[in-house]
Structure 1
Amino acid sequence: MMVLAAVWCLVQLLVLSAPVRVVRWSTVLVAFGVGVYACGVVSVLLEVGWARELAVRGLHRGPSELAQATWVAAPVVEELVKVAPLVVAGWVLRRRVQWGLSDFAVLGASVGTGFGLLESVLSFAERAHKSKPDDGGWVLAQSIFSNAFIPDPGRILTSLFPAPNGVSDWSEAQFPPGIHLVYGVLGGLGVGLVVCGGWWVWRVCGLVPLVAAWAAHWVNNLAAANKDAEWAKPWAEDIHQEWGIWIALGVLVGAAVVDVGRRRRGRALLPETLLAGERAVPGAGSSGGSPLLSYALIKPPYTWFIASGYARMRRALHMAAGHPRTDPARIARLREQVAERTRTIEETSDPARWRGLSQLALIREALAARARLPWHEKVFLGASLVVVLPSLAYLLVGDFKGTQGIQKWFADGAGLQVLIWAAVAGLVLVVWRLLVTLVGLRAALRLPLAEPAVSAQLRIALCAGSLLTGCLLLSRRAAIADGEKPLDVHDAVDPYNDASSFLLERFLDVGLPLLLTVATLALLAMPYALPLELMMGGGVGEMLLGAALPRLAPYLARAGVQALGRAGGPQALARAGVQALRRDAMPWA
């Protein structure tokens, strides 16, 4: 249920930002994995360093060291770590600012969602057998006055930006929005203002959302960790339960307004990238509007995929052209590609030319024309699916009362050895993916679109985080199995505190089977580890358009389209579409 809540948050973010977003859903998925592994692991290690430093200096010796680390260091550390991947994206985009505020806000929210999911999974994944059914979910006892609430699918699917878990005080269950999503969307807005701001004033204003995210996080942690801070509790409740949704929606709406204005400036500078209907009516299709929508509805879902891929590419070009810091030479190739694609869509925009064409035949030809998956990627896909099977059995199948024996079997003996060897195999695959990504990074940086390079760098962070997690856990597997903590913090953890409230406490309190399971599941956030990623991994619009052109060639010839003659006939145009796919999509990246 916690994973469903996180996935539903991502779906809502993608749908709400679809009219203005440039970044693809696959990049959002990788950012989600970065939030779980890279940001979560680095935050734990930095907070452990803080607690150990306090212990070495003799300050707050004892259980209060961890509380000190949670509400003093954790907000600063966690928020800085969560915006670090966005800073990397901003560095890639510094000379060709193809993204807008909406893209940074969505990526920040996805990183925060992954971070929040890690906290919840570490807290409750091993306690499902202790849950009791309640209205709209399940209740897990934590203390005399407060309990954790895990919502059911109906409650999740009818909520906006649902958190993985809520709170129940025996009389009423409170299910607020994901608080780390709110922190993340504020952090993404701050980085977006710094990167996308044309004037220095806007860049300075980018610090305001970053400070706001840190302040909200600090108040929330202070209210939970310090019983004497009574003044912080009302503020934390308001931020968590009432203001969170409005903050996230306000950021998304404000970012969309700014992005639309910037894209209109870029459209005015590039008239050759507009469709005929958009040029005839000034202002038409300012967000990929009615002419392109009419094309998308000619033969859905076939033309819908073609139009959406073209819209994202053109949106990136217009965003870059409308930014004062963009180097025109950096977007020249992208400008040529968008202009060529615009002419192709105009040539195939007559609904009469699509009549009588079989969608299944078109899709079959498109798949046949697509660049083949290299053999090593097929091996990686198959090995990944095999390696994660024990982890899925432990976390999903064994997470019910009737099947809790599965988790007990994995807790020691042969079951634990299976998880350990699966984690070792997973680390080998992660190293493989890391090396392949590093090799392809230079080629990705040379592409007209900046997103493949950003996605590759996020993938490097994901691989590095999961590799660090796996090596740490495997190096201390014997000590953890004997009851020791995964990390040594000089006895800074309160042994009588059962209500783990923060990421560091949760990481130190869970057993080895769950930690190994979480580390191995990093493979599911990597490219081609999901069937949907295999089907939609790269350039589906270009792939479909390249396959449709030979079928439409007789109709185009009868209409007297001169572009086909200049291109050398329908076969040459089809080959050009396939070559564009192989050059730009990089499906194995």
Structure 2
Amino acid sequence: MVAAAVWGVVQLFALAWPTRSVRLSTVLLALMVGVYGCGVVVALVEVAYTRLYADGSGLPVAEVVGTASYTVAPWVEELIKLCPLLLAGLYAKVRRQWGLADFVVLGSALGAGFGLLEALLRFAAEAKRAIPRAHGGWVIPDGLSPPYVPGPHQVFTSWLPAPFATLEMGQEAASATFSHLVWTALAGFGVGVLLRGRGWIRLLAVVPVAAAIGYHTLNNYVAQHYDATGAADWLEKLDAKSWLMPLICLSLAMIVDLRQLHHGKSRIPGVLLAGEREAGDSPAALIRYAAWRLPWTVLIAVRFVRLRRALCYMTALASSTETEELRRLTASIAARIDTSDREDAWQGLDIRSLLKKTRADSGRWRWQLVVPCLLALPSLIFLGIGSFHSASGLQTYIATGPRPEILLYCALAALAWIAWQLTALLRTWRATAAQPIGEQVALHRFRIATALGSGAAGAFMLYRGLGGADVTTDTLLSPAHLLEALDQTLFWVGLLLLLLSLAALIGPGAGLALAGGGALAGLTVEAAANAALLGSAGIVLMGASANGGFGDSGTDGQGSQSSGGGEVNWKPASTKTFGHTFKTHGRKRTLQQMADRARGKGTPQGQWLDDNAAADLLRREHRPGLTGTEDSYIVQIPKGMGRVVFEDETWKEATHAILVPGRNGLFRSAYPIIP
């Protein structure tokens, strides 16, 4: 069941590659939020309103649950499943840096997580009763339309497979389409339109959200009214086409995203690689770079592409002032990739030693990984190996004797661990919000949601378990919807699900020790911050770019060469060679600083966006013998190398540069212009 839920999400994740900016870890964490965040909140809300209505009306709880399943539950479930996306979208950097395809994929993950919770609550402990089918999968003998759990063959050869399906009389085993994934993928597309759209376009967000709720309502209505043949016919037609709905949403999202990516890459200076500027073939340049040192160059290329996409999406909705910080970081990484895009940059690079130097307290990081893994081990055995009929004895072993009681104390330790992790997450709330990458903020908030949900559920179960409930035979609750799944779930299964939630709270594994006030492993704080955007691959990139001649704060490594009677230092920081070229017009000047200078001088100001490339250009264009401003000359510059900043903080890409010779025969100044 877990494999089916994850596989469906991974399918959409893979299809969205041309425009997606979120990582797989973010998508999988969203799935966990669907289980432990959305699932717990929905359970609490449904328990509350069914109990209150039953007490007020005098109707049996079971009857209230049945009616609410198609009147209130679809609205409650779909809106709560969207809450993580809506809350993450409250941060401007998140909604601006995610494309529409990101919202579709993350929505599908939230829905898959919620649907997986229902499946696990119902059938997690049924491996012993399951009957293997000749064509694969297992049937749980309950009634004339028994539940069917697909096997590996059905899962991995199906599109968006559901964790379980219902077999009708005489029906062959086949995996159904995962309804919850489909519904929330539709609704996620609507959230994307709402958060990224402008003007009246935002009103269109109602359409996919309403479609998801309507489809969900029809599904639950038919489940409660077997004699509603008209509604059943409608549902059958929708189910037959449901596999296509996420594809349509994803296709529309990718069309919009591709336009924004193309527009952004053509407008934003400094973010194209040298190979892309020369050949105009983005895939070829990236593929060539990715082949230098596997797997690190692949990771660098992929993560750089995602970072650049986030910048392009942000540029479509934000002003140049707001995007400047992210643009500078992206351009800096692009410059490092250009510098390391040759064989000698990777020769002799000891990556293992480099990572050891920059890794934080490895002992502490290891036990932070080991403890949650040990606590979650019973869940992994029960829900993983024990879920197969041939290994169902493991489930029986865990569920009998003193072991359910032991699980209770394991859950107590897990709850303490969750509380500690939640405290650490809350303490870093503001620091995370200050990060330039919206995905980092969303990851942090998703972890908090998972910790809060699993912590609340764990506290409730411990309250019941330590308060006298029979851990072996009692259920979590009496009927309270989630399609009565909670009523069928044994108490100790809930404890196992609590232990499994620790997997979502394992901290980031990069372990980077980024010092706050100085250099780290010979690299400046600015370089370390740039590399932190790429994780461990960023550290490797810094080492390779240093080998290739890249440096920071006056160590850009262009080298020296003979010119006339002496050595010329062609490093950008050399004022003897370049005068005030890079001090006044270099890439480290912010957009606001350049605009202030434009206002002070009363004329637009040119700025280099890649100091290394500019220094190399000036070296090539140097004309010995010229010694005065009257000898100034204009040259063409490559696309993306410079820009001209105006007084109102707007800018345009420069196409030429004016080179002003100095008295020493080198340069007094040089800056981009628009003739």
TM-score class, shorter-chain normalisation, is 0.7 to 0.9
Work out whether residues 88 and 454 of structure 1, in 8 Å CA contact, stay in contact via their aligned partners in 2. no
Range moving further from structure 2, 70-79 or 141-150: 141-150
- Counterpart residue number, 2:77: 78
Q: Does residue 565 of structure 1 match 2:571?
A: yes
* Aligned residue type for 1:264: H
Question: 1:389 pairs with 341, 362, 377, which one?
Answer: 377
Whole-Å separation in 1 of the counterparts to 2:570 and 2:387: 59
Residues 540-551 of structure 1: pairs in structure 2 closer than 5 A: 540-551=536-547
Q: CA, structure 1 residues 450+564, in 2 after alignment: closer, same or farther (shift >3 Å)?
A: farther
Work out whether residues 340 and 544 of structure 2, in 8 Å CA contact, stay in contact via their aligned partners in 1. no
Whole-Å separation in 2 of the counterparts to 1:100 and 1:25: 15
- Counterpart residue number, 1:463: 451
Work out whether residues 130 and 138 of structure 2, in 8 Å CA contact, stay in contact via their aligned partners in 1. yes
The Cα shift of 1:327 comes to 4.2
- Counterpart residue number, 2:595: none
SS of 1:149's equivalent in the other structure is strand
Whole-Å separation in 2 of the counterparts to 1:96 and 1:45: 28
Q: CA, structure 1 residues 475+538, in 2 after alignment: closer, same or farther (shift >3 Å)?
A: farther
SS of 1:272's equivalent in the other structure is coil
* Aligned residue type for 1:153: P
Q: CA, structure 1 residues 479+504, in 2 after alignment: closer, same or farther (shift >3 Å)?
A: farther
Q: CA, structure 1 residues 388+126, in 2 after alignment: closer, same or farther (shift >3 Å)?
A: same
- Counterpart residue number, 2:360: 372
Work out whether residues 126 and 140 of structure 2, in 8 Å CA contact, stay in contact via their aligned partners in 1. no
Provide the alpha-carbon RMSD of the alignment. Answer: 3.0
Can you list the C-alpha shifts for 1:226-270, whole angstroms capped at 9, x where unaligned? 224222212222333x21221111111111110111122222331
The Cα shift of 1:380 comes to 2.4
- Counterpart residue number, 1:132: 131
Work out whether residues 524 and 530 of structure 1, in 8 Å CA contact, stay in contact via their aligned partners in 2. no
The Cα shift of 1:115 comes to 1.0
* Aligned residue type for 2:101: S
The Cα shift of 1:337 comes to 1.0
Residues 66-465 of structure 1: pairs in structure 2 closer than 5 A: 66-93=65-92, 97-169=96-168, 170-197=170-197, 199-240=198-239, 242-280=240-278, 284=280, 289-323=283-317, 326-350=318-342, 352-353=343-344, 357=347, 362-373=350-361, 376-465=364-453
Q: CA, structure 1 residues 454+369, in 2 after alignment: closer, same or farther (shift >3 Å)?
A: same
Bigger-Rg structure (1/2):
2
Q: CA, structure 1 residues 41+19, in 2 after alignment: closer, same or farther (shift >3 Å)?
A: same
Can you list the C-alpha shifts for 1:165-196, whole angstroms capped at 9, x where unaligned? 22322431231221111111111101101111
Whole-Å separation in 2 of the counterparts to 1:205 and 1:354: 50
Range moving further from structure 2, 80-89 or 151-160: 151-160
Q: Does residue 487 of structure 1 match 2:477?
A: yes
- Counterpart residue number, 1:526: 505
Work out whether residues 167 and 174 of structure 1, in 8 Å CA contact, stay in contact via their aligned partners in 2. no
The Cα shift of 1:6 comes to 1.9
Whole-Å separation in 1 of the counterparts to 2:545 and 2:424: 33
Question: 2:482 pairs with 497, 503, 506, which one?
Answer: 503
The Cα shift of 1:529 comes to 8.8
Work out whether residues 30 and 526 of structure 1, in 8 Å CA contact, stay in contact via their aligned partners in 2. no
- Counterpart residue number, 1:514: 493
The Cα shift of 1:429 comes to 1.0
Work out whether residues 150 and 164 of structure 2, in 8 Å CA contact, stay in contact via their aligned partners in 1. yes
The Cα shift of 1:398 comes to 3.3
Can you list the C-alpha shifts for 1:445-500, whole angstroms capped at 9, x where unaligned? 11111111111111110100000111111111233548555335xxx67xxxxxxx
Work out whether residues 97 and 310 of structure 2, in 8 Å CA contact, stay in contact via their aligned partners in 1. yes
The Cα shift of 1:309 comes to 1.4
* Aligned residue type for 1:275: L
Work out whether residues 559 and 570 of structure 2, in 8 Å CA contact, stay in contact via their aligned partners in 1. no
- Counterpart residue number, 1:576: none
The Cα shift of 1:84 comes to 0.1
The Cα shift of 1:82 comes to 0.4
Q: CA, structure 1 residues 485+141, in 2 after alignment: closer, same or farther (shift >3 Å)?
A: closer
Work out whether residues 486 and 508 of structure 1, in 8 Å CA contact, stay in contact via their aligned partners in 2. yes
> Relative contact order (alpha carbons < 8 A, sep ≥ 6): 1 or 2 greater?
1
SS of 2:43's equivalent in the other structure is helix
Work out whether residues 93 and 438 of structure 2, in 8 Å CA contact, stay in contact via their aligned partners in 1. no
Whole-Å separation in 1 of the counterparts to 2:63 and 2:372: 42
TM-score by length of 1: 0.85
Q: CA, structure 1 residues 157+531, in 2 after alignment: closer, same or farther (shift >3 Å)?
A: farther
SS of 2:294's equivalent in the other structure is coil
Whole-Å separation in 2 of the counterparts to 1:467 and 1:298: 46
Work out whether residues 183 and 217 of structure 1, in 8 Å CA contact, stay in contact via their aligned partners in 2. yes
SS of 1:299's equivalent in the other structure is coil
Identify unmatched segments of 5+ residues in structure 1.
494-501, 569-589
Q: CA, structure 1 residues 374+434, in 2 after alignment: closer, same or farther (shift >3 Å)?
A: farther
Q: CA, structure 1 residues 410+567, in 2 after alignment: closer, same or farther (shift >3 Å)?
A: farther
Q: How many residues align?
A: 542
Whole-Å separation in 2 of the counterparts to 1:435 and 1:131: 42
Work out whether residues 362 and 544 of structure 1, in 8 Å CA contact, stay in contact via their aligned partners in 2. no
SS of 2:126's equivalent in the other structure is helix
Q: CA, structure 1 residues 564+298, in 2 after alignment: closer, same or farther (shift >3 Å)?
A: farther
Work out whether residues 339 and 549 of structure 2, in 8 Å CA contact, stay in contact via their aligned partners in 1. no
Whole-Å separation in 2 of the counterparts to 1:340 and 1:164: 45
SS of 1:20's equivalent in the other structure is coil
Work out whether residues 304 and 534 of structure 2, in 8 Å CA contact, stay in contact via their aligned partners in 1. no
Whole-Å separation in 2 of the counterparts to 1:334 and 1:563: 31
Q: CA, structure 1 residues 537+429, in 2 after alignment: closer, same or farther (shift >3 Å)?
A: farther
Whole-Å separation in 2 of the counterparts to 1:425 and 1:508: 26
Indicate the percent of aligned positions where both proteins have the same amino acid. Answer: 33
Work out whether residues 150 and 166 of structure 1, in 8 Å CA contact, stay in contact via their aligned partners in 2. yes
The Cα shift of 1:304 comes to 1.1
Can you list the C-alpha shifts for 1:51-108, whole angstroms capped at 9, x where unaligned? 1122112264353211112222211111011000000111113687111101111111
The Cα shift of 1:549 comes to 2.6
Whole-Å separation in 2 of the counterparts to 1:433 and 1:76: 32
Work out whether residues 191 and 205 of structure 2, in 8 Å CA contact, stay in contact via their aligned partners in 1. yes
Structure number with the higher helix fraction is 1
* Aligned residue type for 1:226: H
Can you list the C-alpha shifts for 1:542-567, whole angstroms capped at 9, x where unaligned? 1220222344349x969879999347
* Aligned residue type for 2:322: R
Whole-Å separation in 2 of the counterparts to 1:95 and 1:262: 16
Work out whether residues 94 and 438 of structure 2, in 8 Å CA contact, stay in contact via their aligned partners in 1. no
- Counterpart residue number, 2:44: 45
Can you list the C-alpha shifts for 1:132-168, whole angstroms capped at 9, x where unaligned? 1213323324544312222221221111221112232
SS of 1:204's equivalent in the other structure is helix
Q: CA, structure 1 residues 266+96, in 2 after alignment: closer, same or farther (shift >3 Å)?
A: farther
Work out whether residues 97 and 314 of structure 2, in 8 Å CA contact, stay in contact via their aligned partners in 1. yes
* Aligned residue type for 2:113: G
Whole-Å separation in 2 of the counterparts to 1:99 and 1:391: 34
Work out whether residues 427 and 470 of structure 1, in 8 Å CA contact, stay in contact via their aligned partners in 2. yes
Whole-Å separation in 1 of the counterparts to 2:278 and 2:461: 63
Can you list the C-alpha shifts for 1:347-371, whole angstroms capped at 9, x where unaligned? 2223x4357x36xx54313422433
